[in-house]
Amino acid sequence: MSATTRSPLERRRGRIFAPFLAPALALYTALFIGPTLYSLYTSFTDWDGINSPQWAGTRNYSQLLNDPAFRSAFGNTLKIVFGVGAAIFVLSFGFMLMLREMRGRRVIRGVIFLPHIVSSVVLAIFWGVLLSLDGLLNQALDGIGIDPVEWLRPGWTMSAVLVALVWINTGYYVTILMAGVDRIPVSFYEAARLDGTNAWQRFRYVTLPLSWDVTAAAAVLWTITSVKIFEFILAFGGNQGALPPTYQWNNAMFVYGETVGGITPVNQFGYAAASAVTTLVFVAVLVIVLRRLMRREPLQF
């Protein structure tokens, strides 16, 4: 890095490198990466969040394995990541293909994006009003002579959450996929059409390969955002200040529930940290696998 080989521009830039970077780097390291590492450490301790942590080895982790609440929370996290994720991507691809040739596509895109820009608490309130016993859906069914259905019976509430999550997120992923597909030149499709291809072949050999990188990025994005889903579950399932029943928890809810959440917080910070770290490892592995599986030669067009 001798000064003689560098242009005046590079020299000048070098001078501002550290001062420009320092504030962001310091804040991020101290209050983002630091706490993450500390979480890693406390997951091996007994900790109430106030007194200093006591080393506990891997006990938190083995306890997690046998905790029915955590097992169901992790199961629900899997349902969200894979089940809801699959539904969103199938729907988004379908919508994208329909929207390409539909009238009013701009309006549709704008409207289905709406759930993404408002608080999940709002959507949970609406979802409750929609599905409650004397709610919107049952009143509509009543109008066509169908008896009210108890949509919110204990065995069904988690499914209600999953369906809602599909509804909330589909518009967002349609937007992302559409942006990828809109970059494909129309001439490709016309050439393919002249070659006598059908709609499926055009999707398989033009749309899919040329939007592959966007699809891969969207899959990674869903993975890392879906494990953070929390507000909707809390607002939809909880009532009167209490937490939702544990069979409706996911990992994010578990961390809140085992620490400061609820009417009588249990403050098991070390234990909750272990569950959070488990989530982090799960996400990391999944992202690595996804990137491996979806890696393709980048296509220039």
Partner 1 sequence: MTTTVATQPAEPRAPARTPRRRRLARVLARLPGTTAVWLFTGFCLFAFAFMLISSFKASRDILERPWSLPATPRFENWATAWNDGGFGPAFINSTVLVVTASAVTVVIAGPAAYVLGRRPGRLSNGLNLYFVLGLGIPVQVMVLPLYALMNSLELINSLFGLFVLYVVVSLPFTVFLLTSFFASLPAELEEAAALDGVSAAMTFWRIMLPLARGGLLTATLLNAMGIWNETLLALMFIQTNDKFTLPLALLNYFQQQQFTGADFGALFAGVSISILPMIGLYAWLGRRITEGITMGAGK
Q: Which residues 124-143 are close enough to bind partner 1 by CB under 8 A?
A: 125-126, 129-130, 134-136, 139-140
- Whole-Å CA distances, 275 to 42, 50, 243, 250, 259: 11, 19, 18, 11, 12
Q: Binding to partner 1 by residue 9, rule CB under 8 A?
A: yes
Q: How far is the CB of 38 from partner 1 (least distance, A)?
A: 4
Q: CB atoms < 10 A from the CB of 277, how many?
A: 20
Q: Binding to partner 1 by residue 111, rule CB under 8 A?
A: yes
Q: How far is the CB of 3 from partner 1 (least distance, A)?
A: 14
Q: Binding to partner 1 by residue 277, rule CB under 8 A?
A: yes
One residue of 73, 80, 131, 273 binding partner 1 per CB under 8 A: 273
**By C-beta, is 25 or 65 nearer to partner 1?**
25
> How many residues lie near partner 1 (CB under 8 A)?
109
**DSSP string computed for 111-164:** HHHHHHHS-HHHHHHHHHHHHSTTSHHHHHHHHTT-----TT-TTTHHHHHHHH
What is the per-residue binding string for partner 1 in 245-264, x denoting contact by CB under 8 A? ------xx--xx--xxx---
List Cβ neighbours of 138 (8 Å cut-off, separation of 6 or more): 132, 148, 149, 151
Secondary structure letter of residue 49 according to DSSP: S
Could you identify the residue written with the tokens 């891969």? 216
One residue of 76, 92, 170, 246 binding partner 1 per CB under 8 A: 170
Q: How far is the CB of 268 from partner 1 (least distance, A)?
A: 10
**Residues in 217-236 at the binding interface with partner 1, rule: CB under 8 A:** 217-218, 221, 224, 227-228, 230-231, 234-235
**By C-beta, is 53 or 72 nearer to partner 1?**
53
Q: How far is the CB of 76 from partner 1 (least distance, A)?
A: 14
- State the DSSP H helix or E strand holding residue 45, giving kind and residue range, or none if neither: strand 45-46
One residue of 118, 146, 289, 299 binding partner 1 per CB under 8 A: 118
The alpha-carbon radius of gyration of the chain (Å, integer) is: 24
Sign, Cα dihedral of 130, 133, 136, 142: positive
Q: How far, in Å, CA of 48 to CA of 270, rounded?
A: 7
Which one of the spans 63-71, 106-114, 146-154, 201-209 is the region binding partner 1 (CB under 8 A)?
106-114
**By C-beta, is 5 or 17 nearer to partner 1?**
17
Strand partners, 46: 54
Report which residue type is found at 242: A
What is the per-residue binding string for partner 1 in 62-101, x denoting contact by CB under 8 A? --------------------------------xx-xxxxx
One residue of 66, 186, 297, 298 binding partner 1 per CB under 8 A: 186
Q: Binding to partner 1 by residue 208, rule CB under 8 A?
A: no
Q: How far, in Å, CA of 290 to CA of 284, rounded?
A: 10
List Cβ neighbours of 209 (8 Å cut-off, separation of 6 or more): 296, 299
One residue of 89, 113, 151, 247 binding partner 1 per CB under 8 A: 113
